[in-house]
Amino acid sequence: MENMFRLMASEAYLSDRRCIWVNGPVIVGAGPSGLATAACLRDQGVPFVVVERSDCIASLWQKRTYDRLKLHLPKKFCQLPKMPFPDHYPEYPTKRQFIEYLESYANKFEIKPEFNKSVVSARFEETSGLWRVKTTTTAGEEMEYICRWLVVATGENAERVVPEINGLKTEFDGEVVHAFEYKSGEKYRGKRVLVVGCGNSGMEVSLDLANHNAIASMVVRSSVHVLPREIMGKSTFGISVMLMKWLPLWLVDKLLLILSWLVLGSLSKYGLKRPSIGPMELKSKTGKTPVLDIGALEKIKSGDVEIVPAIKRFSRCHVELVDGQKLHIDAVVLATGYRSNVPSWLQESEFFSKNGFPKSPFPNAWKGKSGLYAAGFTRKGLAGASADAVNIAQDIGNVWREETKRQKTRRNVGHRRCISVA
C-alpha cells in the first residue's frame, strides 16, 4: 500500500472510466460539516474529494428550509473554522446570509464538490486496507472511489421522518407536507392548518402561519422545554455555555429554568409541560434540543395558535384527537424531524449504531477505526461540527505529513546511492 501512495503522492487522484483513486480522504456530504472538514484539510495540505448527492452545497439549507428561517444561535457559535461571519451580518443571520457565507467559504478554500453523486455503499476492504465508495447519478452512471480515509459528513438531518398516523395517507383529503417542503404561510392564508410537532421547526412554522392569518393548531404529544432566545439581551445559549464552564449541569439547568420562568412565566396552563429533567441534561442524554422562542409563545398566549393533544386518527376533512375533540382542517404540516441516513449506505457496524450516529459519546464521536471519521454527529450544532472538522483534519494531516516525510527521505537516499554508484 505504501508503494501505491508513493505513486500517487503528486496527484490528488487518478481515474479511469469507472474507478477513481483518491490520494486523500473522501468526504461524503457538502453541508457545513463536509465543508468545514474540507477547509481544515486544505489548511493541512491534504488533498480530498467531496461527493454530494444534490446539485449544490448545503442542500438542506438551500432547498429544504422555510423562507423566514434564521440561525437560532448567535453567529459566533455558528461560524465554521478559519473564517468568521462578516462584521455587517446581524447577530442571527438569515437563511440567505448563511447560504452566502457557506458559498464564500467554499470559494475561499477552493472546495469543489462532485455534485449529483449519491453514495449507495461504502465498505472497508481488509485485504487492501482501503475504503471502496460506490456512487450513482440520477442518469444511472456508476462510479467507485478508492481511498484510505472516509469522512462521513451527511449529518443528523439527512432524511425526513414521516410518522404513520391512522388515516393520514388513506382518508384525509387535504394537503399534507413535511416541514422540509414548507416555504411560507402565504398559501395557507385563511385555512385551518394542523402542525404536527412542537420542536423549533413546529414552533416557527406555527408562528409563520399565524403571521399569515392562517388558523393554526399545533400538536403537542409530550413535554417540551421552551426557553427565551435571549435573557436580558444575552443569548440563552451563550449564558448556558458560560455557566457550564463553572457549574455542574443540574445547577445550570435550575438557573436556566428560573430565568426562563421570570421571562416567559408558567407555560403549563397553555398546554406546554416541561420534562422532568432540565434542558441541558436532556440535550446531553437524548440529543433533544430545547425550543428557543422567537415569537410563537406570544401567538399561543393570544390564542392565534392553539395547542392540541395527540392525534387519534384522520378522516376526510377532520382530525380526531385523543381527548375526543374533532377539528376541521384543510392542511397538515409534519414538523416531525429528520434522521441520519448512514445505515442505508455505510457497511460498518462497529463505529456507527443502527440509528446512524456514532456509538461513542462526545467528545470521542469523530474517529472510528480503519480511517473512518464522522463530522457533525455530536448533536452540538455547528460548533460541534467545526470541532469535529478540526480534529479530523489534524489527525489525517499528522499521518499525511509523516508519510510525506518518509517518502522524501527514501527519494533522497535513492538519489545519494545513484551519485555514489556514478
| Cα→Cα distances 408→23, 116, 169, 320, 417, Å | 17, 38, 64, 73, 14
Q: Mind listing the pLDDT tens digit for each residue in 19-47?
A: 999 999 999 999 999 999 999 999 999 99
Q: Which residue has the cell 392553539?
A: 306
The pLDDT tens digits for 380-399 are 899 999 999 999 999 999 99
pTM above 0.75, yes or no: yes
Is residue 415 pLDDT above 60, yes or no? Answer: no
- Looking at 78-87, 126-135, 150-159, 352-361, which range is the least confident one? 352-361
Would you say 156 and 357 are in contact if contact means Cβ atoms under 8 Å apart? yes
What average pLDDT does the chain have? 91
Question: What number does CATH give the domain 18-158+340-413?
Answer: 3.50.50.60
Whole-number pLDDT of residue 411: 60
Q: Which CATH superfamily is domain 162-220+290-337 in?
A: FAD/NAD(P)-binding domain (3.50.50.60)
C-alpha cell read off for 138: 440520477
Which pairing describes strands 26-28 and 49-51: parallel, antiparallel, or unpaired?
parallel
HSE toward the beta carbon, residue 118, CA cutoff 13 A:
13
Say yes or no to pLDDT of 9 above 50: no
Q: Is 114 helix (H, G, I), strand (E, B) or coil?
A: strand
Cα distance between the two ends of the chain: 31
Question: Is pLDDT larger for residue 15 or for residue 377?
Answer: 377
* Domain extent listing, the chain: 18-158+340-413, 162-220+290-337, 225-286
